[in-house]
Amino acid sequence: MGTSQKRPARSFPLIPLATVLVAGLLVAAAILITPPGQSTPGGTNLANAAMQVTDLPLKQLSPQAFADVERDLDATETPEPTTPVHAGKPTTVVVKRGDSLSAIFMRLGIYSNLAQLLKPGEDHRALERIYPGQKLVFTLSGTRLDRLELVQTPYRSLVYSRNNDSFVAETLHRQLDTILQYAGGHIDSSLYLAGHRAGMSDTLIQDLVHIFRWDIDFALDLRVGDSFSILYEKHLLDGEEVEDGEIAAAEFVNKGITYRAYRYTDESGRTDYYTLEGKSLHRTFLRTPVKIARISSYFNPRRRHPILNVIRAHRGVDYAAPTGTPIQATGAGRVIYRGTKGQYGKMIVLRHGNIYSTLYAHMSRYARGTGVGRMVKQGQTIGYVGSTGLSTGPHLHYEFRVNGVHRNPLKVKLPQTKSLPKAEMDRFLATIHAPARQLDAYALNRLALQAL
């Protein structure tokens, strides 16, 4: 009990006059607002007030008084800092959960610098947003802060340096070296296991999946023996690996078909993955699934149903067209459902990559080559307009879903695709020349190993 008590006498005589005056006012205020009947042992209360004023009211002091206080405090023994500090030598502190800058200053035994640091402005705002795990590097002279480095990334810091009574902030960039690293493997149980075995992080594996998501259905298409190769950026700082960068080139062999992708930033500054022919791997959608048609009903979450006469969300768009009008797949994808389903009648659902799906209902009949599991091309005829299911007349009911959620097909922002313009092909081929040759070399190597 005795050891955990505050030691009122210790810091009291060392508080300079101005501070004591403020402390006195605070104590007076505390006494005034203390409810009657509640005992307040004077010494403890005074000490608490004194502890507060060393931190808080300093902001209001004149620069000269500030300097005086600081000099006085420099001369005192600080109350047991919990982090060992060596004057002049940088001390690194890792921010803990629930930590604040003032708590860290307290632990280090730094006094009175906080107000100078926390000035309004962009540079200073970063100090209010410290997060657990972040590194702060302090350089002190006694209890005076000379320099504070806020480590934002392994290669970028915000540095606050003392300039008399204030601090100057600057961003410090460290030069990273980037190398291209190879990783590759083959699948015998899962892509993740194979990727990890090849030394790839989860992020890199996800990046790889993302690149080929329009061509390969990673949930259904992967087979034992499929293989992959990637060339990815590795960022080094003084020869040490600090983080992975982007995939520069990738190859995926799925069911015997080789897909390749090359990252390229075009002349307008847009980065995408392209095939060797300069076609973006990012596919798009046709806006309408029927060439000549009239919209007979719009997407409407609160529509009165024309037959049922109840409020029922209309989660698609209806295109009125004569029976037998061809229906086109709006995007390249895989048939994941084909059959008759209640009010929808005969319908087909396509999945496009991992995110998008489209639904086509009330068909009179299906086109050939649309069995479940089949891949269809963009614009391919998948069926014909009809009036099956709950329908007032021949029309196509078309739905567009993003991550399983119905979106208005007429308004949803569709992914844009493009091929590189001819004028840019030379630049593109020059950019991808080296990674393409490297992928070739690794592919040859793998074939040679398989032949053994």
Scanning residues 378 to 397, which ones bind Zn ion (CB under 5 A)? 397
For residue 154, give the amino acid letter: P
**CA 351 from chain center: how many Å?**
25
Q: How far is the CB of 360 from Zn ion (least distance, A)?
A: 11
Of residues 215 and 318, the one with the C-beta less far from Zn ion: 318
Q: With CB under 5 A as the contact rule, which of the stretches 65-73, 99-107, 175-183, 311-319 interacts with Zn ion? A: 311-319
Q: How far is the CB of 364 from Zn ion (least distance, A)?
A: 16
Q: How far is the CB of 315 from Zn ion (least distance, A)?
A: 8
Q: How far is the CB of 433 from Zn ion (least distance, A)?
A: 51
Q: How far is the CB of 382 from Zn ion (least distance, A)?
A: 17
Q: How far is the CB of 346 from Zn ion (least distance, A)?
A: 14
Q: How far is the CB of 399 from Zn ion (least distance, A)?
A: 8
Q: Is 399 in the site for Zn ion (CB under 5 A)?
A: no
Of residues 370 and 391, the one with the C-beta less far from Zn ion: 391
Q: Whose CA is closest to 116, among 145, 83, 81?
A: 145
Residue nearest to Zn ion (CB): 397
Q: With CB under 5 A as the contact rule, which of the stretches 52-60, 218-226, 308-316, 344-352 interacts with Zn ion? A: 308-316
Q: How far is the CB of 316 from Zn ion (least distance, A)?
A: 5
Of residues 249 and 361, the one with the C-beta less far from Zn ion: 361
Of residues 113 and 391, the one with the C-beta less far from Zn ion: 391
CA angle, 378 then 381 then 382, to 5°: 100
Q: Whose CA is closest to 7, among 34, 47, 41, 45?
A: 47
Of residues 409 and 435, the one with the C-beta less far from Zn ion: 409
Q: With CB under 5 A as the contact rule, which of the stretches 93-101, 267-275, 318-326, 419-427 interacts with Zn ion? A: 318-326
Size of the site for Zn ion (CB under 5 A): 3
Of residues 186 and 312, the one with the C-beta less far from Zn ion: 312
Of residues 351 and 397, the one with the C-beta less far from Zn ion: 397
Please pick, from the candidates 226, 272, 318, 399, the single residue that binds Zn ion as defined by CB under 5 A: 318
> What's the Cα-to-Cα distance from 127 to each of 66, 121, 124, 150, 166, rounded to whole Å?
22, 11, 6, 8, 15
Of residues 166 and 392, the one with the C-beta less far from Zn ion: 392
Q: With CB under 5 A as the contact rule, which of the stretches 283-291, 301-309, 313-321, 338-346 interacts with Zn ion? A: 313-321
Binding mask 432-451 for Zn ion (x = CB under 5 A): --------------------
Torsion of CA 18, 19, 24, 28, to 10 degrees: 110
Residues in CB range of 417: below 8 A, 6 or more apart: 280, 282, 283, 284
Of residues 45 and 297, the one with the C-beta less far from Zn ion: 297
Q: How far is the CB of 314 from Zn ion (least distance, A)?
A: 6
Residues that bind Zn ion (CB under 5 A): 316, 318, 397
